Structure formats: structure tokens, C-alpha cells
Amino acid sequence: MSHERRGNACMFHIGRSGSTVLADQMGQHPDLVWAGEMLDHKRVRLGPATALALVEAGIRQAGGRRFGLEAKFYHLRRAGLELEPFVDRLEALGFDRFLVVRRRNLLRKVVSSQVARASRRWHLPAGREAVLHTVRIDPQRVPIEGGHRPLLDIIEHYLADFRRLDAVLRDRARLDLVFEEDIRPDPAAACRRTLDFLGLPPCETAVRLARTTPWPLGQIVENLDEVRACLAGSPHAWMTEDEEP
């Protein structure tokens, strides 16, 4: 399957990093069909061929409009897709722009995931006041991505995934966005920058989502001292002190 039309885009992220508020705005652009995390099939285990067939079907359904999707490293692994061959295949399908959304404080990402899992509230509509939901984290056995792993291992694993991605995208057109620097301060500005990178005309979009956990870690994590002890002496110890206003 070949496509002469270029300009399709893939956003890589690990979740709880401002990706959804950004994607929601992008999906409001009339010239862009944004499929979101289309490889996240909780009920059916995708294989490599099925996952790529879904992408191809999405492109066809987009017609003459640009097409975009989001890929988490976890979703790729679950579908049996290796990162570099996946990107090569996307490129053959007209994907020539790649977005990388990161969150510097990966502890905050893990905490946000645990709060969402416990409260069963993953997103919050704009204008709705967030409700504090505290969690207790076992640093040696954190439930994540269908299993349980030590906190330190989770953080190192995320960093390793992004290093691999950096290598794969080294010579490709990419836009890097950081939650703390680009998305949290002004989601609308982050969207304008993204649309410009995609070569799409400016478009008025609404920021329709708000932050779910806008409190210092000390108010959210019931056993923060235990978490601090776990990360003490590691390069990630600073994450326990970041209050992220």
C-alpha cells in the first residue's frame, strides 16, 4: 500500500504527560483526522499485521485530510511491534512528521497514573474542579501497564524507551514538547506550535480538559517519605521534591 500524500503524523508519549489535552485540540482541526491511541485495544490483543492494518484503514478513511495517531511504547510492545520497523512502516505510509511528548518528572507521571487508576477518572473537563484523591505507593511493586514493577525500574524503563526513540528519529522531522515547559503553562500555545510544525493553517481550538492532580506530591502520596527513600541516591531523587505548581 503506497500513499503519495505526505504529512501524516505520529505522536509518541507514555501518557499522563499532557498528550490528551494536546490531542483533543488537534482533533478539532478540520484538515486533520486524529485517531488518538488507536493501537490501544484492551479487549483484543493486536498482532503486528492487525495493528498496521488499522493504521492503513485509518488513512483511507481520512480521505484527503491529514491523518495522525498516538503510539505508546507499551502499546507497541503489546502488539509485537518493534520501534524502528514500526517507524519505517509509518514513513512508507506517508508519515513524515513525528511528535515526541515527554514529562521530565516521571514520578509525577507514575503518581498521576495511580490516582487515575484508583479514582477511575482519567480526564477532567475544563472548568471542573479537581478532587484530591490520595494514593499509597509501594516502591517495590507499582501496578503499571498490566503488571507490577519497582518504581526505580519503571522510571529507568521510560528513559530507555525515549533514548531508543531519539536514535530512531535522529534524521527525521520531529517536534519535541515537554509537559512542564510547553503544555502545562499554555496548552493552546503548544497546539499552535504543533499545527505549525504539521504544516496546517491556524485554527481556533478550545482547551477542553483540565489537570487532574494539581497538588504537591506531599498532598497526593500518603507515604512520600518511603518513596523518597527509594529514589534517594539515584539521579531521580529530585523528582520527589518537585512541587509542580
What domains lie within the chain, and their CATH numbers?
8-240 (3.40.50.300)
pLDDT bin (cut points 50, 70, 90) of residue 242 is confident
Enumerate long-range contacts of 46-55, CB under 8 Å, 24 or more apart: 46/78, 46/79, 46/80, 47/79, 47/80, 48/79, 48/80, 48/81, 50/79, 51/79, 51/80, 51/81, 52/81, 52/89, 55/90, 55/93
| Stronger pLDDT, 2 or 150, i.e. the higher one | 150
For residue 62, the surrounding DSSP H or E stretch is helix 48-62
Give me the pLDDT at residue 45, please.
75
The answer to whether residues 101 and 182 touch, using CB atoms and an 8 Å cutoff, is: no
Query: What is the tens place of the pLDDT at every residue in 183-204?
Result: 999 999 999 999 999 999 999 9
Query: Quick check: helix, strand or coil at residue 13?
Result: strand
Lookup: cell for 184: 502545562
% pLDDT > 90, the chain: 91
- For the segment 91-119, the average pLDDT, to the nearest whole number, is 97
Crossing angle of helices 83-92/151-168, nearest 10°?
Answer: 40
Q: How far apart (Å, rounded) are the C-alpha atoms in residues 28 and 24?
A: 7
Asked whether residue 4 carries a pLDDT value surpassing 60, the answer given is: no
Q: How far apart (Å, rounded) are the C-alpha atoms in residues 92 and 109?
A: 33
Asked whether residue 6 carries a pLDDT value surpassing 80, the answer given is: no
Q: How far apart (Å, rounded) are the C-alpha atoms in residues 106 and 155?
A: 6
Asked whether residue 208 carries a pLDDT value surpassing 90, the answer given is: yes
Query: What is the tens place of the pLDDT at every residue in 17-61?
Result: 999 999 999 999 999 999 999 999 766 678 999 999 999 999 999
pLDDT bin (cut points 50, 70, 90) of residue 1 is very low
Q: How far apart (Å, rounded) are the C-alpha atoms in residues 123 and 209?
A: 7
Give me the pLDDT at residue 245, please.
59
Task: Tell me the CA distances in angstroms from 157 to 31, 82, 106, 154, one per residue in order.
Answer: 36, 16, 11, 5
Asked whether residue 66 carries a pLDDT value surpassing 60, the answer given is: yes
- For the segment 77-91, the average pLDDT, to the nearest whole number, is 96
| Stronger pLDDT, 5 or 219, i.e. the higher one | 219
Asked whether residue 138 carries a pLDDT value surpassing 50, the answer given is: yes
First to last CA, the chain: 48
Distance of CA 180 to the CA centre of its chain: 13
- For the segment 131-160, the average pLDDT, to the nearest whole number, is 96
Q: How far apart (Å, rounded) are the C-alpha atoms in residues 180 and 147?
A: 28
Q: Count the alpha carbons within 13 Å of 172 in the hemisphere toward its beta carbon.
A: 23
How many other CB atoms are found less than 10 A from the CB of residue 163?
10
Give me the pLDDT at residue 171, please.
94
For residue 26, the surrounding DSSP H or E stretch is helix 19-26
The answer to whether residues 32 and 127 touch, using CB atoms and an 8 Å cutoff, is: no
Give me the pLDDT at residue 139, please.
98
Mean pLDDT of the chain: 94
The residue count of the chain comes to 245
Q: How far apart (Å, rounded) are the C-alpha atoms in residues 15 and 17?
A: 5
Lookup: cell for 226: 518511603
